[in-house]
Amino acid sequence: MNKALAIWKFDYRYLALIGSGLLLLLIAFAGGLEELVSRWEKQEEYSHSYILPFITLYFIWQRKNLIQQSAFSPSWMGFGIVLLALVVFLVGEISALYILIQYAFIAVLMGIALAIMGWPALKPVIVPILLLIFAIPLPYFLEASLSANLQLLSSKFGVSFIRWCQIPVYLEGNIIDLGSYKLQVVEACSGLRYLFPLMSLGFICAYMYNTVFWKRALVFLSTIPITLFMNSFRIAMIGVLVDNWGSSMAEGFLHDFEGWVVFMACLGVLVAEMLLLSRLGTDRRPFAEVFGLTVDQSVDDSAGAKVRPLSRPFIAIIASLAVVTVTVFSIDKRAEVFPERKNFPIFPMQLADWQGQHSSMEDTVINKLGLSDYILADFRQVQGAPVNLYAAYYASQRKGISPHSPRVCIPGGGWQITDIERKDLGLLAVNRIVIKKGDMTQLVYYWFQQRGRKLANEYLMKWYLFKDALLLNRTDGALVRLTTMVNPGESLDLADQRLQVFAQEVLPVLPQYIPD
């Protein structure tokens, strides 16, 4: 063991300050952290997140020898980071956008570490702190979009594997038709249950892979194609098993066991990749030398002990946390505004010369969409194809639950989008989509009608959602979609005219059910 010049220690005052700071932090951020744990519990793809804080603590503890021997140089930059993060936190508290609170929490932790330790001492433990980012779930709308796209890609690649096995198969959206059986690649099979845990594991492996940066970055980034490939392979294997031994191969314990085996196979591919990379490039070393935790020099018992001086930036952070904590609890908890409205079940089924007929969705679909109220009805005139009206109303979108974009959902039903554009109807702008399935063609208009605005741009809709949550304390809104079949021999212009005529009739009625 090498003799250290000094062992730096915290005295009881410093430890009391650190304890007070962490306590204030947990009290202030309790709502956002509670919502975070709730997402871990509800969504299986994030269930691995429970262990990530403990891994972070272990990695930091593992560098304790280096930390003990480091003379901290507290930085006021840490105080600046904390102040900025606390502003974001207050915005998240007022608007109840939990993702802002959760990211602000990690930023505050980073700022506190910088204010106490300074950059030279923080550098060895910054990566373990960044690991906590993988414990924060994506916003629902991004997750839904990612899941839908992964479903389609996994279905396509899976079908390619099945065909390679000389099995006749037909793919319609995310439905795999084997003739005798039909398999639907549902959202749970999109691959997110592999992707998020494997990305976290890839980040940990990259941290423990002590080699050049490009190899570490490649290990982490490769988790995405590995997940896509292995999930597609799993879907293909289920298809082959179902074709030979029946639908029981895609159900129950066997289905879940296959998922576990595939995840372990993903881990095996990741290890094989690191083994291969250790033999490439200028930094060629045995895998046992490049993979593992860094072992710091141990501290000699004879080394002299020194007490760390109090960090002024950290004292300023404690004061700021105290003020913010008091502010959060002194602000009146604003009850979200829910404007009066009529319910869609009493929506009129006669609009001028359009006669309507209600339809309904299954309870499982309604629960998955998370909507508060909806209408699904076919309206028709004496002549011409019917127009399907679908409007999904959300009384609150504070927890990230919001309308699913049709451009994400449509391909999942087996329809192929052949054309999409933004179209100005004068009364409003809509997204115009032409979709096809076999010989069938449909024309779709959709827009977002929220708090007096009619928007076609989905990202602009998210901006106004944030703004109105902050200033108006309202997050209600709806997706409105009009769909009509393009009959054989009929032009798209006629279908456009039909949707536009119906839109003129339905727009004046909607504000009673979707408040301005």
Of these ranges, 40-54, 228-242, 320-334, the one predicted with the greatest mean pLDDT is: 40-54
User: What pLDDT sits at residue 299?
Assistant: 62
Report DSSP state, residue 29. Answer: T
Task: Give the residue-averaged pLDDT of 206-212.
Answer: 89
More confidently predicted of 114 and 93: 114
Task: Give the residue-averaged pLDDT of 79-86.
Answer: 94
pLDDT tops 90 at residue 164: no
pLDDT tops 80 at residue 274: yes
Q: Is residue 295 part of a domain?
A: no
276, 281, 330 from 213: Cα distances, Å: 15, 12, 48
Task: Give the residue-averaged pLDDT of 265-275.
Answer: 89
Structural domain containing residue 13: 6-139+305-330
Tens of pLDDT, residue by residue over 4-18, are 467 788 888 888 988
15, 89, 501 from 325: Cα distances, Å: 20, 11, 55
Q: Is residue 336 part of a domain?
A: no
Same domain, 369 and 400: yes
Same domain, 105 and 67: yes
Q: Out of 109-118, 394-403, 496-505, which region has the weakest mean confidence (pLDDT)?
A: 394-403
Q: CA 306, CA 308: separation in Å to the nearest integer?
A: 6
Q: Out of 61-75, 296-310, 333-347, which region has the weakest mean confidence (pLDDT)?
A: 296-310
Percent of the chain whose pLDDT exceeds 90: 33
Tens of pLDDT, residue by residue over 483-516, are 999 988 888 999 999 999 999 999 999 999 999 8
Q: Is residue 325 part of a domain?
A: yes
Within 13 Å and on the Cβ side, how many CA atoms surround 187? 15
Within 13 Å and on the Cβ side, how many CA atoms surround 250? 22
Same domain, 87 and 111: yes
Average pLDDT over the chain reads 83
Instruction: Please answer whether residues 398 and 468 qualify as being in contact, where contact means their C-beta atoms are separated by less than 8 angstroms.
Output: no
CB atoms inside a 10 Å sphere around CB 468: 21
User: What pLDDT sits at residue 484?
Assistant: 94
pLDDT tops 90 at residue 329: no
Confidence of residue 161 (pLDDT cuts 50, 70, 90): confident
More confidently predicted of 194 and 300: 194
Confidence of residue 234 (pLDDT cuts 50, 70, 90): confident
Q: What is the pTM of this model?
A: 0.71
Same domain, 58 and 178: no
Roughly what angle, to the nearest 10 degrees, separates helices 98-117 and 30-42? 120
User: Per the structure, how many domains does the chain have?
Assistant: 3
183, 184, 228, 444, 503 from 152: Cα distances, Å: 13, 11, 11, 20, 31
More confidently predicted of 250 and 281: 281
What is the SS3 assignment for 508?
Answer: coil
Same domain, 256 and 372: no
Q: Out of 100-104, 328-332, 415-419, which region has the weakest mean confidence (pLDDT)?
A: 328-332
Q: Is residue 420 part of a domain?
A: yes
User: What pLDDT sits at residue 412?
Assistant: 59
Chain center to CA of 384: 42
Q: Is residue 156 part of a domain?
A: yes
User: What pLDDT sits at residue 130?
Assistant: 92
Task: Give the residue-averaged pLDDT of 92-108.
Answer: 84
Q: Is residue 378 part of a domain?
A: yes
Choose among 430, 515, 408: nearest CA to 480.
430
Q: Out of 23-32, 53-62, 231-240, which region has the weakest mean confidence (pLDDT)?
A: 231-240
Same domain, 282 and 206: yes
Q: CA 506, CA 500: separation in Å to the nearest integer?
A: 10
Percent of the chain whose pLDDT exceeds 70: 86
Q: Strand 6-9 relative to strand 304-307: parallel, antiparallel, unpaired?
A: parallel
More confidently predicted of 85 and 145: 85
Q: Is residue 299 part of a domain?
A: no
Q: Which residues of 217-247 are buried (b: 16+ CB within 10 A; e: fewer)?
A: ebbbebbeebbbbbbbbbbbbbbbbbbeeee
Same domain, 462 and 422: yes
pLDDT tops 60 at residue 113: yes
pLDDT tops 50 at residue 35: yes
Report DSSP state, residue 397. Answer: -
Same domain, 117 and 39: yes
User: What pLDDT sits at residue 4?
Assistant: 46
Angle at 221 between CA 215 and CA 227, to 5 degrees: 130
Strand partners, 447: 480
Task: Give the residue-averaged pLDDT of 233-242.
Answer: 78
Tens of pLDDT, residue by residue over 428-448, are 899 999 888 778 889 999 999
What is the number of residues in the chain?
516
Same domain, 383 and 490: yes
User: What pLDDT sits at residue 2?
Assistant: 44
Instruction: Please answer whether residues 209 and 169 qualify as being in contact, where contact means their C-beta atoms are separated by less than 8 angstroms.
Output: no
Choose among 346, 328, 324, 318: nearest CA to 96.
328
Same domain, 94 and 113: yes
Task: Give the residue-averaged pLDDT of 408-424.
Answer: 76
> Residue with structure tokens 């980040």?
203
Instruction: Please answer whether residues 504 and 425 qualify as being in contact, where contact means their C-beta atoms are separated by less than 8 angstroms.
Output: no
Same domain, 131 and 146: no
Angle at 84 between CA 82 and CA 90, to 5 degrees: 100
Confidence of residue 1 (pLDDT cuts 50, 70, 90): very low
pLDDT tops 80 at residue 425: yes
Same domain, 359 and 221: no
Q: Is residue 1 part of a domain?
A: no
Q: Out of 280-284, 381-385, 450-454, which region has the weakest mean confidence (pLDDT)?
A: 280-284
